[in-house]
Structure 1
Amino acid sequence: MSAIDFSDPATIAFLTEALTAAGVDGLEISRPGGQLRIVVAGKDGARISSTGATPPAPGSASAVVRAPMAGRFCLEHPISATPQNLPRAVSDLDIVGFVAVGHILLPLRAGRSGVLTRLLAEPGALVGFGDPLFEIGLPS
């Protein structure tokens, strides 16, 4: 029996649709370094959540926001008309981008307060679980 590739966007989209069709409340997948949770929430569709920004290394003045799952990286919400300019100040709860899996958008939270300084992935690129997306400069 071969292992299921949980980093494949098509697999995640299939699981979400199958959970919804089966009337299942949700699914949680834990791996070393991350966790993925899909919760089916009635007529609002599915919510996907996972771990956020990587903690900074000791002595480091920056943190990296990593992809919590595989999908297409979106810098802005598809219906947003406001471009995201860098550098810009962010709080730990600010949404700094999205990972799209089919028609589902997973918001990416900064996870740390600081200055969003660098974009580490191209908007529209296919990203995998754990891929670096942003760098946040932390206050000293």
Structure 2
Amino acid sequence: MSAIDFSDPATIAFLTEALTAAGVNGLEISQPGGQLRIIVAGESGARIGSTEATPPAPGSAAAVVKAPMAGRFCVEHPAASAAPQDLPRSVSDADIVGFVGVGHILLPLCAGRSGVLTRLLAEPGALVGFGDPLFEIGLPS
């Protein structure tokens, strides 16, 4: 039996639909390479969460936010009417810095570290794969 690829958007969409149809509230899958959590929240739809930020290497002055799954990369929420924020900008560890979308499901990307969001490492609207670098966060010295 082959392993299931939990970073595949089609697999995540299938699991979300199956959970919703079965009336299941959620599912969490942990593997050595990461974690996937799908929570079916009734009328507001499903929320998908996973590990989000990669800790910096020892001696490094920056952390990289990587794609937790494959999908379409968005810097701003598609429904946002506000103008996109310019870089560099300060962020806290809980700030949402972008999204990865699969169909109608958007996975928010948390900064994971406080610092300065210095670089965009992927093109907005591009298809990204699991683990692709998306943002660079300069850490306070």
TM-score by length of 1: 0.93
Cα displacement string for residues 2-53 of structure 1 (whole angstroms, at most 9, x for unaligned residues)? 4332222122111111110111121112222311100112222111111121
Q: Which moved more, 1:24-33 or 1:124-133?
A: 24-33
- Secondary structure of the 1:139 match is coil
**Equivalent position of 1:19 in the other structure:** 19
Q: Which amino acid aligns with 1:105?
A: L
- Secondary structure of the 1:78 match is coil
Q: Which amino acid aligns with 2:124?
A: P
Question: RMSD of the TM alignment (CA)?
Answer: 1.2
Q: CA deviation at 1:87?
A: 0.9
**Equivalent position of 2:55 in the other structure:** 55
- Percent identity of paired positions between Structure 1 and Structure 2: 86
- Secondary structure of the 2:19 match is helix
Correspondence 1:114 to 2:135: no
Q: Which amino acid aligns with 1:46?
A: A
Cα displacement string for residues 55-87 of structure 1 (whole angstroms, at most 9, x for unaligned residues)? 111110000001111111111100113213111
The answer to whether the 8 Å contact 1:36/1:69 transfers is no
Which segments of structure 1 move beyond 6 Å, counting only runs of 4 or more? none
Structure 2: gaps of 5 or more residues: none
Q: CA deviation at 1:104?
A: 0.9
TM-score by length of 2: 0.93
Correspondence 1:139 to 2:140: yes
**Equivalent position of 1:124 in the other structure:** 125
- Secondary structure of the 1:15 match is helix
Q: Distance in 2 between matches of 1:100 and 1:91?
A: 22
Q: Which amino acid aligns with 1:125?
A: A
**Equivalent position of 1:33 in the other structure:** 33
Structure 1: gaps of 5 or more residues: none
Q: Which amino acid aligns with 1:21?
A: A
